[in-house]
Amino acid sequence: MPHATNLNDRQREAVLTTEGPVLVIAGAGSGKTRVLTERIGHLVGDLRVSPYEILAFTFTNKAAREMKDRLERAHPGSTEMLWVGTFHSTGVRILRRHGDAAGVKRDFSIYDTDDSTGLVKAILARNPNDARFVKSPRVLRDRISRMKNDLVTPADAAERAISAGEQRIAALYAEYERDLRKANALDFDDLINKVVELFATDDRVRELYARRFRYVLVDEFQDTNPIQMAMIDGLASVHGNLFVVGDDDQSIYSWRGARVEHILEFEGLYPATKVIRLEQNYRSTKTILDAANGVIAHNLGRKGKTLWTDGEVGDKVRVTAALDEESEALAVIDLVKREVAAGTSLKQIAILYRTNAQSRALEDVFVQASLPYQIIGSVRFYERAEVRDVLAYCKAIVNPDDSINLKRILNVPRRGIGKTTIDQIEALAAERGTSLVDAMRAAASTLGAAAAARVHAFLVLFDELREMAATDVAPHVVDAILKSTEYHKHLEENYPDAEARIENIDELLSKAHGFAEGAETKSLSAFLEEVALVADVDALDLDSGQLTLMTIHNAKGLEFDAVVVTGMEEGLFPHYNSIDDPTAVEEERRLFYVGMTRARRRLYLTFAGMRRRMGMMEGGVPSRFLNEIPERTLEAPVEPLVSPTIYGGAWSPRRDYARSLRDEYAQPEPHEAYSQEAFAPQAPVVSGVHVSSHAPSSTGAVEHAYTIGMRIQHERFGKGIVRKVEGKGEQTRVTVIFDAGGERKFLAHYAPMRPL
């Protein structure tokens, strides 16, 4: 059997059991991606199944691409007809072909989270009395999204509403749905929702797909939500050859409506199910697995399994304490340096964290140290204002009914169409029940002459671009938008950081060019579709030779030789919002488990004694998860971490553990610039440091009386002059301009600094 060699018995069973429902419980690193790919290879290569009859769901586009690449190598030509993609991209594919039956027009636009929020905002503006029922447009949008994911319609919501507030929310939800239809737009949830609706209303279409796809495969099954489950169920309704792979211990998307129960209830739903468990791990060392197993064992709500490996024991897990987030970043650099010295390449190292906000402090220090890194997520490319502006032009051009995006660009760049004019046009649109563009075309009579002329000028430009988009390729249209609106000039005139913004616009343009080179359909609408569905991880380049920074959520499914999980503090990880809810803490624990099991050879954990949160410095306490790691897997000494005073009590830097590392960064010129070569592999170096505290030494409880103009001495940055003093008591912040150049802000209470 060409497709069952080099597999263990269980894996082979999973590959060869092609008929009927199969549930594979696949632990972290147990080779599930391989099983999925080999299984498709077996179907195509050995059983002569046409790729046309196979549909596979992956969690990201990147995973889909990788699976296709692997298959293409093994069976050239086989992937052309194969459908592999995310639920969302598969939904789009189906809706573009057969959406009509569910009332979806073929040329619909896709609203991303920002667009949806804009729509909700507009609805709330129309219903000022309802604002008191929701905290913010975003909260309402999330709530609507949750209902959609749970198959709750506006009518259901109205029926279930017990309070007046719930009644109104149901009404706003209904209005949101109406407005989406009016704008000929689908939000992310609709991309799946409408398929389910389609299957329910039109049996012929459902059967068309269900007959075609004799084999349906689902990866990351633990993170499917009810609406996705309904879509899967519809697709598997004819042949029943449904193969799902998941791990209940890695379920980390319940906040998005995902249900682990889908794993637990699968056998009940599909009675003939064959269950296969993959528990042998091929990724991590014995020590890392032991540590991860020890942590996840604290969860009560799990099916229970124990991963094992016959790999080597490996190095122990190292915990590093830092004074604040800056020292934490320095500690990370130090760990990276050691890894590189030991022969690990930068691209095989990942720095993970709970929240995107944590990346900033890391980045600041990495930049200073010239450490090459790539960051996934954070300020997302497609969410930058300038990129969104240009995309709004594209969206409005493709679909002029898209009032949200049309409104966004009406006066960007400034063309004298201000609030008053827009209000008038909107009123006219509401009065006549037409779209915004139509109201603009009709507005000449109601507007003043000057305003009417400006609106007319916009419409001329808009129509020209529309005409062009009907026939020309995406990059040309994007280029025409930029030229005709003099967008570069607009950026230069209005933003001090215009250069960076222009770079982003150029990148968008080059993405459009790249798209036109590779895609079959090169139209603007096809480009928008691609753009709407890309995830941040899709951009991850593991061959860039750089260090990778990302959230643990983004790291799902990936693996690295060395992994550093930062921010191991109560409140951050587990996060404040989860800390009072045992179920939520269990999900946080699973998230930590996912982070730990990304590591192949070495795992590092760091925490900071204090950290800036929304501008305020706050004290931190080591995460409870650290205490759950079996001591035998940790580098000694562990004592300070398991101290009974940890919870509740304020944490202070333990000077006993401030060791060699501190001195390294205590000099005035702390970050020697690490060139690319400095990070090239060298001969292994033996490290003797265990739990190390990364703390610029504290000055203790010295009274701080800084005044503007005062000369000061800072332990690390040398002499300087006080420029600004803000706040009082422990919160006193002092801004200093250093003689050596550079301005910095410190908390007077904590900074290693004294008046001269």
Partner DNA sequence: TGGTAGAGGCTTTTT
Partner DNA sequence: GCCTCTACCA
Strand-pair partners of 276: 24
**Residue 576 is a binding residue for DNA (CB under 7 A):** yes
- Is the CB of 219 or the CB of 536 nearer to DNA? 536
Residue 605's φ and ψ, nearest 5 degrees, are -130, 135
Can you tell me the distance from the alpha carbon of 357 to that of 371, in angstroms, rounded to the nearest whole number? Answer: 19
Question: CB count, 10 Å around CB of 169?
Answer: 22
Asked whether position 420 contacts DNA by CB under 7 A, the answer is yes
Catalytic residue among 38, 114, 220, 569: 220
3-state percent breakdown (helix, strand, coil) of the chain, nearest 5: 50, 15, 35
CB 116 within 8 A of CB 140: no
Q: Is the CB of 111 or the CB of 651 nearer to DNA?
A: 111
Site for DNA in 542-561 (CB under 7 A): 550-551, 553-554
- Give yes or no for a cis peptide into 413 (omega within 30° of 0): yes
Contact string 448-487 vs DNA (x = CB under 7 A)? ---x------------------------------------
Among 411, 446, 504, 697, binds DNA (CB under 7 A): 411
Nearest distance from residue 341's CB to DNA, in Å? 31
Long-range residue pairs from 260-264, CB within 8 A, at least 24 positions apart, any chain: 260/222, 262/221, 262/222, 262/224, 262/229, 263/23, 263/25, 263/221, 263/222, 263/303, 264/303
Q: By CB under 7 A, tell whether 222 contacts DNA.
A: no
Q: Are strands 560-565 and 610-613 parallel, antiparallel or unpaired?
A: unpaired
Exactly one of 12, 32, 62, 318 is catalytic; name it. 32
Told to check if 414 binds DNA by CB under 7 A, we report yes
**Cis amide leading into 670 (omega within 30):** no
Query: Nearer to DNA by C-beta: 578 or 692?
Result: 578
Query: Contact 755/706 with Cβ under 8 angstroms?
Result: yes
HSE-up (13 A, CA, CB side) for residue 199: 24
With CB under 7 A as the contact rule, the residue among 304, 496, 615, 644 that binds DNA is 615
- Contact (CB, 8 A) for 385 and 424: no
Q: Is 433 in the site for DNA (CB under 7 A)?
A: no
Clarify whether 250 is annotated catalytic. yes
Asked if 613 is part of the footprint of DNA (rule: CB under 7 A), the reply reads yes
Which of 90, 228, 250, 320 is catalytic? The answer is 250
Q: Is 597 in the site for DNA (CB under 7 A)?
A: no
The footprint of DNA on residues 25-54 (CB under 7 A) is none
Q: Which stretch binds DNA (CB under 7 A): 18-26, 56-64, 285-293, 330-338?
A: 56-64
- The distance of closest approach from Cβ of residue 334 to DNA in the complex, given in angstroms and rounded to an integer, is 24
To the query of whether residue 220 is one of the catalytic residues in this protein, the response is: yes
One residue of 8, 17, 18, 113 binding DNA per CB under 7 A:
113
Of residues 139 and 642, the one with the C-beta less far from DNA: 139
Tokens encoding 602 = 């070495």
Is the Cβ of residue 323 or residue 535 nearer to DNA in the bound state? 535
Residue 578 interacting with DNA (CB under 7 A): yes
Closer to DNA by Cβ: residue 188 or 373: 188
**Cα dist from 652 to 118, 605, 639, 658, whole Å:** 44, 18, 15, 12
Residue 256 touches DNA, criterion: CB under 7 A = yes
Across 390-411, b (16+ Cβ under 10 Å) vs e yields bbbbbbbbbbbbbbbbbbbbbb
* Contact pick of 508, 537, 568, 610 for DNA (by CB under 7 A): 537
598 among known catalytic residues: yes
Report how far residue 745's alpha carbon sits from residue 731's, in angstroms, rounded to the nearest whole number.
Answer: 12
Q: Which residue type occupies 663? A: D
DSSP 51-106: GGGEEEE-SSHHHHHHHHHHHHHHSTTTTSS-EEE-HHHHHHHHHHHHGGGGT--T
Per CB under 7 A, does 86 bind DNA?
A: yes
- Closer to DNA by CB, 138 or 441: give it: 138
Q: Which of 2, 301, 416, 684 binds DNA (CB under 7 A)?
A: 416
Q: Are strands 274-278 and 22-26 parallel, antiparallel or unpaired?
A: parallel
In the numeric block, the tokens 């899709």 are attached to 538
Q: Do residues 184 and 24 lie in contact, with contact meaning Cβ atoms separated by under 8 Å?
A: no
Among 21, 41, 377, 620, binds DNA (CB under 7 A): 377
Least distance between DNA and beta carbon 176 (Å): 15
- Mark residues 330-369: x for contact with DNA by CB under 7 A, - for none: ------------------------xxxx------------
**CB 722 → DNA: shortest distance, Å?**
15
Structure tokens at 542: 């593991």
Residue 46 DSSP symbol: I
Site for DNA in 724-743 (CB under 7 A): 733
Cβ atoms of 327 and 611 within 8 Å: the answer is no
Within 123-142, the residues that bind DNA by CB under 7 A are 135-136, 138-139, 142
DSSP state, residue 334: H
Question: Which of 112, 189, 219, 402 is labelled catalytic?
Answer: 219
In the bound state with DNA, the residue whose beta carbon lies nearer, of 473 and 747, is: 747
Residue 340 near residue 679 (C-beta atoms within 8 A): yes
**Kind of pairing between the strands at 109-111 and 185-187:** parallel
10, 305, 556, 598: which one is catalytic? 598
Considering only residues 362, 535, 722, 748, which one is a binding residue for DNA as defined by CB under 7 A? 535
Strand pairing report for 733-738 and 242-246: unpaired
Comparison of 152 and 289: residue with beta carbon closer to DNA: 152
Least CB distance to DNA at residue 555 (A): 9
Please tell me the count of residues contacting DNA according to CB under 7 A: 54
Q: Least distance in Å: CB of 283 to DNA?
A: 22
8 Å CB contact between 439 and 420: no
- Least Cβ distance, residue 135 to DNA (angstroms): 5
C-beta of 326 vs 339, nearer to DNA:
326
Interface with DNA (CB under 7 A), residue from 1, 80, 165, 255: 255
Q: Which residues are catalytic?
A: 32-33, 219-220, 250, 598
Contact residues toward DNA (CB under 7 A) are 59-61, 86-89, 112-113, 121, 135-136, 138-139, 142, 188, 252, 255-256, 354-357, 377, 385, 411, 414-421, 451, 533, 535-537, 550-551, 553-554, 575-578, 584, 612-615, 733, 745
